[in-house]
Amino acid sequence: MRHKTSSGIKPPTGINVSENSVEPESIETPEYLHHEINEWRSEHDAWLEDIDLWQREYKLAAVMLYKMERALPSQNIALEKHAEGIRQHKKRVSAYEKGLKNLICSSNQDAVKHKDLLKEHRLQEEQHLNERRLHKSFRETHLATIAELIRATNFLESKD
């Protein structure tokens, strides 16, 4: 009975080979020994091709890590700028709110002052929406980036 080996190469006629074991009498023939060496050689070549690919991919990963290291400081600067924008918006909203409270508490409901406060309200509303969009973008980027880094780190650590 002829069986295919894991490489798909059939041993010479009359040699009984299974996937996991070889009959003791079959390894005695020079033909089978030669066949087995060819199978090893084929596997070695495939393994070396795998390793070559992996080494190129590790070099690419090193470039990607370098780019990430270079991007982190600018990302941190962008986050600090975003935080400062929020702080400034909070201050401006607080100042606006004081003016609004004064108008509410005032017996003199000045139409010009009311119009100015309404204009300021629209400006603060626009700024708030911009900060919200920016914050949402930072959140999505941050969560995705950190999740990928954790996943990759855990995967690599599990291989140690």
> What pLDDT digit, counting tens, does each position of 42-67 carry?
999 999 999 999 999 999 999 998 99
pLDDT, tens digit (0-9, with 9 covering 90-100), for 83-107: 999 999 999 999 999 988 888 888 7
Q: How confident is the model at residue 77 (pLDDT cuts 50, 70, 90)?
A: very high
Chain CA centroid to CA 54, Å: 19
Query: Cβ distance 128 to 96 under 8 Å?
Result: no
- Joined together, the tokens standing for residue 90 give 């909070």
Neighbours of 121 (CB within 10 A): 15
Angle at 119 (CA atoms; ends 113, 121), nearest 5 degrees: 100
Give me the chain's average pLDDT, please.
85
Backbone CA torsion sign across 73, 74, 77, 78 = negative
Chain CA centroid to CA 150, Å: 9
**pTM above the 0.75 mark?**
no
